[in-house]
Structure 1
Amino acid sequence: MMGIETTTSKSFLVVVIIVLVSTVVLIAQGMLPNYYQLKPITSSTTTHSTTTTMQQSTTTKSSSLLLDSETNSNNIIYGHLHFPKTGGSNLNGRMAATYDNVCGNKGYSYDAYQFNSRGRHNNITIPGHNIDVISEVSKNNKEYNNNNNNNGKGKYDRGKVPKGIMNEIGYEDCNYISQEKEWEFWPELINNLNQKNEDNNNNNSTLTLELHVPCREPIQHLMSMASHFNKKYECDENESKITIQKAIDKVYMKRLGDGRFSNKFTNTNIELKCFTPFPLENYIHYMKDKLHSRRFPVPYYQPRTTNKKHDKSKECIWDSTSDEYKQKVIQLLIEKHPYMKFCSECIGSSNELQL
């Protein structure tokens, strides 16, 4: 019996060994599944993987492009053509006190907070009468200051920046520019910025200057000019002593005004828009979706005064002249001055800003 059991055990062991050897051979030949082997990548898996990778790459690229687009989508630089007696000094100052990247000869964003704080503390409202670094530099510089006195108040300050200092600062970081210069400044500015945009950024997109021109009711505007010069407009309904044209010429700010606007604005990268400047709040609010608000808004804006308030009751044109006479005044203003002609055509058109 013992011999039979031993023989059986040996036979069973041989069978087990044969089965194990056969299994190993079959696995080696790929005829039996091995769950520890890496599965071969099928064509469908490859396609799916490639598609997923491409989608991820496209998504990443799109996100990158979207970010660049969001960063650079606004290829518009806004300009404010500061025409005399249109509230431009306070408009420039309040824009700088409300938004970032505002650059103007009557105020910059970067120093508006402290400038207004000092002005309020010292109760200074006249442009050029604050004492700061710019006033200290300008009071000893004949090029900057022709109105020097002994109390340190010069012609310029941080709320009335001289041309030389503005050029030294540059306009490369400005999203909104307010300026009282001759009209040629604007095409030169946008051409220069576009050249830098192309050279420095390898940017194929072209910058556009949207230039905002303030337009007042013409007779009110003319009377403000007369007030600025401390002159009275002479009314002569019959034009026996003075013609309407001569009466206009005596008070119109031709040298300061006509040089700032021209009918030669033909630059394709400049878009002219008009707006009614008063009340200033309407325009400032209109720009909120186009400019970035300041991180620290100026809590107290210190107003600028450039004119004594004129008394309409002492201005003969309102009560002592006929509607026909007033219409002749308006017509002559439009015929003789490109700025007035532009305003007459722009107000009420699609180019008027809807404040």
Structure 2
Amino acid sequence: MIESNHRRPADWSMVRLATFIITIVVGFNLVRNSDQSFQQIEAPFQDVKAPSSLSMHITGGLPDSDSSSVQQGNIDPKVVYGHVHEAKTGGTSLNGMLAARYERVCGNKGYSFDAYQSNVRRKQKIQNDTVKQLKRGFHRSRVPHFIMDERGYENCDWISKEIGWFWWKKFVKWPLHIELHVPCREPVDHLMSKCNFKGNTFDCSGDLATEVEKCMLKHARARFHYNLTNLNNTSIKCFDYNITFTKYMDLMDKTLQRKRMPIEYAFRATNRRRKFATECIWQNDTLRLAVEKYLIEKYPYYNFCDACIGSKEDMFAA
């Protein structure tokens, strides 16, 4: 008698049961091993905390926990503010402080969206970040212009650029109006700051023009030009450099939207400490006035500021 190759129904039931048991056991082991693997991966990150030395900088009595009371700002929805970053007018700190406290700040010295962690790293003296890896000499608190342009400016309320005046021409056909803010610093004090930055000493017995020009930075005529006053879709206002971190900051606090999680700005110095006692120009009023006159006549920035401060275009004129 030839034995049939077909198993009886009872045999198939045993096969199915054995297969089911094996599947359950194997599946359980896989899940258990996976859980252990994920626990091993996650473990190094479980205790990461912001350093206790970092204090949140809360402006205007902003509550710590009630995010519903975050100030929404009073910005005109049809206006974008532009900061003409003239060198040695406190622009680095201004940009950094605004990015740390308010939303939609876009500047090559700081953006709102990544300012928190950028300041955490700076306080921890961590110098490296992905921007620095991309371009030497730059980082998230000194953003290359090509990265800024790639990100775009459509979601910015306040823009700061250390760049030639012509860059602002990109907004002449924008649907939003651009209001430029120019910080104006007293000419001779500004010049002495530039001398200090370059490590030069102003020689009061030397040729006036030579002494002035050796302290001027290469972009002294580039960032501001009177053409800025004639751009379509653009208005321009000025403010006294001395009130940058008082009245101007107060105005921005009422204008820009506060962050739910602001952070104290980690200051970084860009100048060596000045030695005013060694600056001979302050002991020679005739020379000081002559230098001031030279700067106002030769440089559009000083000429503009001389006319603007105290005028109707002065943001804080009485």
Equivalent residues in 2 for 1:57-72, closer than 5 Å: none
Equivalent residues in 2 for 1:286-301, closer than 5 Å: 286-298=251-263, 300-301=264-265
User: What is residue 188 of structure 2 aligned with on the other side?
Assistant: 219
Match of 1:171 among 153, 177, 191: 153
Q: Deviations over 1:232-281 (max 9, x none)?
A: 11102xxxxx321221111122x222110111121132111111233542
User: What is residue 310 of structure 1 aligned with on the other side?
Assistant: 274
Whichever residue aligns with residue 133 of structure 2, its letter is E
1:133 aligns with 2:130: yes
Counterpart Cα distance in 2 of 1:137 and 1:286 = 36
Helix, strand or coil: the match of 1:115?
Answer: helix
After the TM superposition, which of the residue ranges 99-108 and 70-79 deviates more from structure 2? 70-79
Q: Deviations over 1:137-192 (max 9, x none)?
A: 11xxxxxx3xxxxxxxxx0000000111111111111010000010001122x125
Structure 1 vs Structure 2: percent identity of aligned residues? Answer: 39
Whichever residue aligns with residue 326 of structure 1, its letter is R
Counterpart Cα distance in 2 of 1:317 and 1:268 = 41
User: What is residue 111 of structure 2 aligned with on the other side?
Assistant: 108
User: What is residue 258 of structure 1 aligned with on the other side?
Assistant: 221
**What is the TM-score of this pair, normalised by structure 2?**
0.73
Which runs of 5 or more residues in structure 1 are unaligned? 1-69, 125-129, 139-144, 146-154, 198-206, 237-241
Counterpart Cα distance in 2 of 1:219 and 1:181 = 23
**What is the TM-score of this pair, normalised by structure 1?**
0.66
Counterpart Cα distance in 1 of 2:277 and 2:74 = 53
Match of 2:296 among 302, 318, 334: 334
4+ residue runs of structure 1 moved beyond 4 angstroms?
70-73
Helix, strand or coil: the match of 1:77?
Answer: strand
Whether the 8 Å contact between 2:172 and 2:232 is mirrored in structure 1 is no
Q: Which has the higher contact order (CA 8 A, sep 6+)?
A: 2
Counterpart Cα distance in 2 of 1:351 and 1:280 = 16
Q: Tell me how far 1:223 sits from its aligned partner.
A: 0.2
Q: Tell me how far 1:74 sits from its aligned partner.
A: 2.2
Counterpart Cα distance in 1 of 2:296 and 2:245 = 28
Match of 2:211 among 247, 268, 287: 247
Counterpart Cα distance in 1 of 2:281 and 2:141 = 35
Counterpart Cα distance in 1 of 2:216 and 2:75 = 43
Match of 1:117 among 120, 125, 132: 120
Whichever residue aligns with residue 260 of structure 1, its letter is R
Counterpart Cα distance in 1 of 2:74 and 2:153 = 19
Cα 1:133–1:324 change in 2 (3 A) is same
Helix, strand or coil: the match of 1:278?
Answer: helix
Q: Tell me how far 1:291 sits from its aligned partner.
A: 1.2
Whichever residue aligns with residue 231 of structure 2, its letter is N
Q: Which has the larger radius of gyration?
A: 1
User: What is residue 191 of structure 1 aligned with on the other side?
Assistant: 172
Counterpart Cα distance in 2 of 1:110 and 1:284 = 19
Cα 1:159–1:96 change in 2 (3 A) is same
| Matched positions, count | 243
